[in-house]
Amino acid sequence: MAPSAVIASWLAAAAAVPAVLVGAAGGQGLGTVLVGGRWIGICVPWDKQPWGLVNQPVLNFASTPSAAAYWLGGSAVVLGVAVSLMPATVRVRSLAGQLAAVQLAFAAAVVGLLWQPGLDPTSSHVARWLAFRGLPPELRWLAAAVGAAVAVPIVLRLVALARITRFALRRSRRLGLVVLHLVPVPLGWAAVSTTVRGSVPVEACVVAVVPFVVALLTAWFGFPPAATHAVSGIRPRAAVVLAVIALTFAGLAMAVGRPLPGGRTAAVQWARGSSFNNIRPWMVPLRAPWLGPVGTPSSR
């Protein structure tokens, strides 16, 4: 809970949120490529779910069974990040690296898996896939249970790191760790999303609060052993690197998702759209120079 550790953690979280959203859009683009489409751009709205801009292989692509890779690719990517980071980084030797892993996993679980899709509850990618498959729309709420389960090992890792230097952690200090490290940046992003949206997204608030509650309960009851390997402290170079990464991803979030007048959103397009693209009317893609001064392709 030293100031240097908290600042490094917040910088890592500030980079993790846009990184997760860009990764979700990339998951949709790559999922489309796997089933014969083409990934042509990206749009990461602050008040909507991320979109990978794609050329769909056929007109009715969205309703076909192979479109599962398109509708669920983003969720699969963020869930993979949230689940795999804790075991993959268990032997990282720097505190900055450990905190970055914690923040990236938590951002994937809360912002990528729950908050952002919850902004479009009935038209989210998962909800659309459920509708096309004839499945109950309420199944989308299972994401909250998954996010809650993922939060448990993240909090245990955070507490285990704190126990390296302070073996006896009272419950109040464990709760303080969660509140200090894991709450500010996701809560700040939720405030930004709500402000841009212009109304409180009820479903997003409900589903996103679940992993926070589970995180606090884990800190209250959980008392893992201290991390068994040496972890170096926060060095100035590490803090600078985290700050540069955070600023880079902040710039990326501005380029591919900033709100524009008239309720529109910025996007980036690097390949030509076909007749069967998914570019929405509210997206304003910045076209790569090699595409020439051609108007935005029609949306399907």
Dist CA 149 CA 83 (whole Å): 9
| Tens place of pLDDT per residue across the chain (300 aa) | 788 899 999 999 999 999 999 999 999 999 999 999 999 999 999 999 999 999 999 999 999 999 999 999 999 999 999 999 999 998 888 999 999 999 999 999 999 999 999 999 889 999 999 999 999 999 999 999 999 999 999 999 999 988 887 767 888 999 999 999 999 999 999 999 999 999 999 999 999 999 999 999 999 998 888 777 778 888 888 889 999 999 999 999 999 999 999 999 999 999 999 889 999 999 999 998 888 765 544 433
Please report whether residue 245 resides in a domain. Answer: yes
Assess if residue 184 is contained within a domain: yes
Question: In total, how many domains does the chain have?
Answer: 1
Residue 23, CB half-sphere, CA atoms under 13 Å: how many? 23
Residue 227 lies in a domain: yes
Look at strands 259-260 and 51-55 and give their pairing. unpaired
Q: Which domain holds residue 271?
A: 3-291
In a domain, 298, yes or no: no
Residue 297 within a domain? no
300 lies in some domain: no
Q: Is residue 299 part of a domain?
A: no
- Cα 32 from Cα 144, distance rounded (Å): 25
Q: Does residue 296 form part of some domain? A: no
